[in-house]
Amino acid sequence: MYAALYVLPLLLSTAGIALHLGFVQQNWLGNPKITLYVVIALIAWQFIPFHSLLYQMGRRQIPHVLYEAARLDGACSAQLFWRVTLPQLRYTVVTSSTLIVVGSLTYFDIIYIMTNGGPGYTTRVLSLDMYQAAFSQNEFGYASVLAVVLGVIGVGLALGLVRFSGFGSMASQQEGAA
């Protein structure tokens, strides 16, 4: 899987040469101005299908009775989305957001394989810095502190999302549905 992520920019450059497209013929992972955007695009390419499936399954769990009742009350498509679909997808949104936020702290492997934090420090993230400190500079104490900070940030963000979203109350989503 990671080999495919590394080969994609190479394929784009090769296609650009073959089709005489100047903007595609560049060093995608060596240009400090665009490397971070390339890495973000590849991570999005990897995880968007998973979150799309989460939302699709969440949407399928919404009872059709709620849509029928809203249509009988005269709701248009936009109102159906904002007043029926989105409130019913509340827990799916919180779950997906928690996975995205906490997962974003651990994208070490993709960044390490593709850029090793470079060029310069443009794609250096906390988990990669922790690895470099421990295994390249033999500063295991500093790396341990970074690991604790990374863990505290992840747990704090997850608990914050759960608390501010009301996800912790665990009320039934289908309350009132017949």
pLDDT at residue 124, as a whole number? 87
pLDDT at residue 109, as a whole number? 86
Is 176 domain-assigned? no
Is 124 domain-assigned? yes
**DSSP class of residue 26?**
S
Closest C-alpha to 81, from 49, 56, 59: 59
Is 175 domain-assigned? no
What residue spans of the chain are helical by DSSP H? Answer: 2-18, 35-60, 64-72, 77-80, 86-88, 90-104, 108-114, 126-135, 140-165
Is 174 domain-assigned? no
pLDDT at residue 51, as a whole number? 94
Asked whether the whole model's pTM tops 0.75, one would answer no
Is 39 domain-assigned? yes
CATH code, domain with 149: 1.10.3720.10
Owner of token pair 């240009």: 31
Owner of token pair 């936020």: 101
pLDDT at residue 77, as a whole number? 93
Is 41 domain-assigned? yes
Number of domains in the chain: 1
pLDDT at residue 6, as a whole number? 63
**Rounded CA separation 131/103 (Å):** 17
Q: What range defines the domain where residue 141 resides?
A: 2-169
Is 178 domain-assigned? no
pLDDT at residue 142, as a whole number? 95
pLDDT tens string, the chain, 178 residues long: the values are: 556 666 776 777 777 778 777 777 778 788 888 888 988 888 888 889 999 999 999 999 999 999 999 999 999 999 999 999 999 998 898 889 888 888 887 788 888 888 888 888 888 888 889 999 999 999 999 999 999 998 898 888 888 887 877 766 655 555 555 4
pLDDT at residue 98, as a whole number? 83
Is 78 domain-assigned? yes
**Rounded CA separation 115/30 (Å):** 8
